[in-house]
Amino acid sequence: MGRAKKNVEVEAQVIARGNVVPMMTETESEETVQYVSDEDAAREDRLVSEIRMITEQTKQVVLFNSIEIGRRLTEAKAMVKRGTWGTWLKERVDYSQRTANNFMKIYQEYGRNGLAEKSQALANLSYTQALALIDLPEDERARFAEERKAGEMALRKLQEEVRQEKEKVTAVKELANRNAAEAEAKFADELKQKDTQMAKLTAEKAKVAAQIEVLEKRAAEAEKSNQKRQKEAIGIALEEERKKLDAAAEKQSELLKQIDELNGQRDRQVAEARRKAEEEMNAKFAKERAELEEKERAAKAVADVARKQIDAAKRQVTEAIENRELTEAIARAKFAIESALDAYSRAADTVIEVGRLDKVEASKLLDDMAESSQSIVAKFVKTLKSE
């Protein structure tokens, strides 16, 4: 309030000295400007379209040329003797090591895998935009570039969007990994029991196989010594052991099927847990983003309404000016309105910046701004009408 009062007093002093300077409102600055004559309008439109088209083509040329430079730098680096790479860059191609690293990174991330050729959204990126997107996982870049229209973004805004997207991707993966670990843990004990059973059966088979080997040797010895009764007894024992071996093998086969089935169930549940986690987190982030964008649109809409109402009030007051005293009062009012409008605009921009860091806090601030603005404007309009 103190600052607003001081501004009014300063404006009053300026008016008193007869040095009132007309101020252009934000609304006036947004009015359509006719840059060319009507007869040149069509040609001017074509020129603008051509300039924009050439600009986009230039972006693509720059990116693909950067890929090719990176390809050749990567090949050259493999040839250059160890410890001389920095000197070679400076003397042979006049590049700093940082510039060379960026070119090679562009090649590694977009050229070697053909990623830039597979996605038009990526092909439309400038060199610096392509560098900014490297912070995202390779399989996320094309989707991000297309959904967010990355090629149309200012670099600073793009870097902030990439940072937020990276945090989102990390959060999704962390939740997916936790859910997957929980799903996997459900099968751990049962699979461990099955593994223990398998180990016992394997040991049992080995023991039976060893016993069969002993019996077969004894049967061979009985055959040589013509001990028929002993041979028959050994044969009966061999038959029993072979039955045991077959039974163990059958149990082992059935156990393997059970283990395979359990592994299959575990893998399916783990995959489903990951899918649900990703779906849940993506839906959450999409909702938060939509809510913030709606808040931003609402804040701007409130500002627009307030601006129009203020402009209307200013016109009414201007028409009612009849004397010096009213002129001075109106001048002070204009100055105060312009200051308030400017402050509101700066506040809206600041809240939008806050939204990129803390969506919840930004939403609260936007609600407060909207409520305050509507209350002030309603009171102002009511007062004017009553007078």
Contact 128, 151 (CB under 8 A): no
Exposed, middle or buried, 102 (CB in 10 Å: 0-12/13-18/19+)? buried
pTM of the predicted model, to two decimals? 0.42
Predicted pLDDT of residue 51:
82
**Nearest in space to 298 (alpha carbons), one of 360, 371, 381, 354:** 371
Q: How many other C-beta atoms can be found within 10 angstroms of the C-beta atom of residue 60?
A: 17
Q: Look up residue 67 and give its two tokens.
A: 């890929």
Say whether pLDDT at 41 is over 70.
yes
Is it the case that residue 341 has pLDDT exceeding 80?
Answer: no
Highest mean pLDDT among 1-5, 269-273, 353-357: 269-273
Using alpha carbons only, what angle is made at residue 186 by residues 185 and 190, rounded to the nearest 5 degrees? 100
pLDDT tens digits, one per residue of 181-218: 887 888 888 888 888 988 998 998 899 899 888 888 88
> Has residue 229 got a pLDDT over 50?
yes
Q: Which of 72-81, 121-130, 318-327 has the lowest mean pLDDT?
A: 318-327
Per-residue confidence (pLDDT) for residue 98, from 0 to 100: 94
How far lies 161's CA from each of 287, 352, 353, in Å?
16, 13, 11
